[in-house]
């Protein structure tokens, strides 16, 4: 079983006191920007979520249903988003991954896609402020409007405001340059992409989400040891900025559709692999595992789990009394 140095799906860290009330405000701001983005060319609205919402009376095992004897710190304020559960299975753990610096001290993103593009395909993510360590990659000088940036494989880094912006995607370099030229800063802090023909803004928001909701299962309890090994299966819901940027950095494999939305298979969000799709524009749902190495058998099992997943409403999620753990919500971790 693989381990995560950042306290990912295999070994979450729990540090410090809960700051749930603060994060409700931050998360509302983040998701309000993420799911309310306007189109670059007309309306950018995708079909509403086709991942079903169902009643979830039997989600929790007996120890999770009663937190009165446990010192666990739990999420108590109604969140802006719910979670993702697997049909017919009780979760072993319900975790709210809390990232205090995601909004106040983190980067912000704009997700841009070609008309007809989907999660991790035919698009790009603009990040500001961006780390400058991409300069260490093999690259070449490139003009972005009136400034000179650096172009590497699938990305461009260029000066913007008091720092640097980065655009990363699977588009031709000419399209990356064109989108970069139409990028500006609001109040000198938040990136915004102005209209450019043939593309649309999907969402804007923090690169890392302040709160991520994960449910964890045992592969043995699900009867999937032959396919996924003895390890961990996990589901999650997050916003797409940093997640999609990580998809472009790591590379993806098309994985058909889940609940009518195009899905991709990748190494993003820890573990051996995750299958991810968009229940709604700018929101990412994923199912992953940490155990056996990737194989056709494992991918088939993951697809079947995703097909049987359903969304929890915010109030249903809160009813699971999710444990609050503080860690950096970096999808590459």
The shares of helix, strand and coil residues in the chain, as percent rounded to the nearest 5, are 20, 40, 40
Tokens of 245: 């940027």
Q: Could you give the 3-state DSSP secondary structure of residue 299? A: helix
pLDDT along the chain (333 residues), means of 10: 42 39 44 44 40 57 46 87 93 93 86 95 96 72 95 94 96 97 93 90 91 95 94 90 94 95 93 93 93 90 96 95 92 70
Tokens of 249: 């950095």
Q: Enter the pTM of the model.
A: 0.82
Per-residue pLDDT at 204: 93
Residue with tokens 């990136």: 191
Residue with tokens 């099992």: 301
As a dihedral over the C-alpha atoms of residue 14, residue 16, residue 17, residue 20, rounded to 10 degrees, the angle is: -60
Non-local (6+) Cβ contacts of 67 within 8 A are: 74, 321
Domain boundaries, the chain: 27-46+53-102+208-326, 104-206
Asked whether the beta carbons of 27 and 209 are under 8 A apart, the reply is yes
Rounded to the nearest 5 degrees, what angle is found at the Cα of 313, between the Cα atoms of 121 and 222?
75
Per-residue pLDDT at 271: 86
Q: Which residues of 255-289 are buried (b: 16+ CB within 10 A; e: fewer)?
A: beebbebbbbbbbbbbbbbbbbbbbbbbbbbbbbb
Residue with tokens 């079903």: 52
H or E stretch at 94: strand 93-98
| Cα atoms in the 13 Å half-sphere on the side-chain side of 13 | 13
Show the DSSP H helices in the chain as ranges: 20-35, 62-65, 101-104, 173-181, 225-228, 240-250, 296-307, 314-319
Q: How far apart are CA 234 and CA 247, in angstroms?
A: 18
């Amino acid at each position: 079983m693989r381990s995560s140095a950042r306290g990912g799906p295999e070994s979450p860290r729990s540090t410090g006191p809960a700051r749930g009330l603060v994060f409700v405000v931050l998360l509302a701001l983040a998701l309000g920007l993420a799911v309310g983005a306007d189109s670059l060319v007309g309306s950018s609205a995708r079909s509403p979520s086709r991942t079903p919402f169902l009643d979830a009376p039997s989600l929790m095992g007996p120890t999770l249903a009663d937190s009165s004897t446990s010192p666990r710190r739990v999420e108590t304020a109604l969140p802006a988003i719910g979670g993702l559960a697997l049909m017919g299975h009780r979760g072993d753990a319900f975790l709210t991954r809390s990232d205090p610096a995601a909004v106040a001290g983190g980067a912000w993103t704009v997700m841009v896609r070609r008309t007809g593009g989907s999660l991790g395909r035919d698009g790009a993510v603009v990040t500001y402020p961006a780390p400058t360590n991409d300069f260490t990659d093999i690259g070449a000088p490139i003009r972005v409007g009136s400034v000179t940036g650096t172009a590497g494989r699938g990305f461009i880094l260029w000066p913007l405001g008091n720092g640097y912006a980065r655009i990363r995607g699977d588009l031709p370099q000419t399209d990356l340059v064109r989108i970069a030229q139409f990028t500006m800063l609001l109040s000198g802090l938040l990136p915004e992409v102005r209209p450019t023909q043939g593309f649309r803004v999907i969402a804007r928001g923090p690169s890392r989400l302040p709160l991520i909701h994960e449910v964890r299962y045992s592969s043995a309890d699900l009867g999937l040891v032959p396919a996924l090994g003895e390890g961990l299966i996990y589901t999650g819901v997050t916003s797409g900025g940093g997640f999609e940027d990580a998809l472009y950095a790591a590379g993806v494999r098309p994985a058909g559709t889940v609940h009518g939305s195009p899905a991709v298979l990748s190494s993003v969000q820890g573990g051996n692999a995750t299958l991810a799709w968009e229940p709604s524009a700018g929101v990412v749902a994923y199912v992953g595992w940490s155990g056996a190495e990737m194989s056709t058998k494992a991918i088939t099992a993951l697809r079947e789990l995703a097909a049987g997943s359903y969304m929890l409403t915010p109030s249903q999620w809160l009813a699971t009394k999710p444990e609050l753990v503080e860690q950096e919500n970096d999808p590459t971790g």
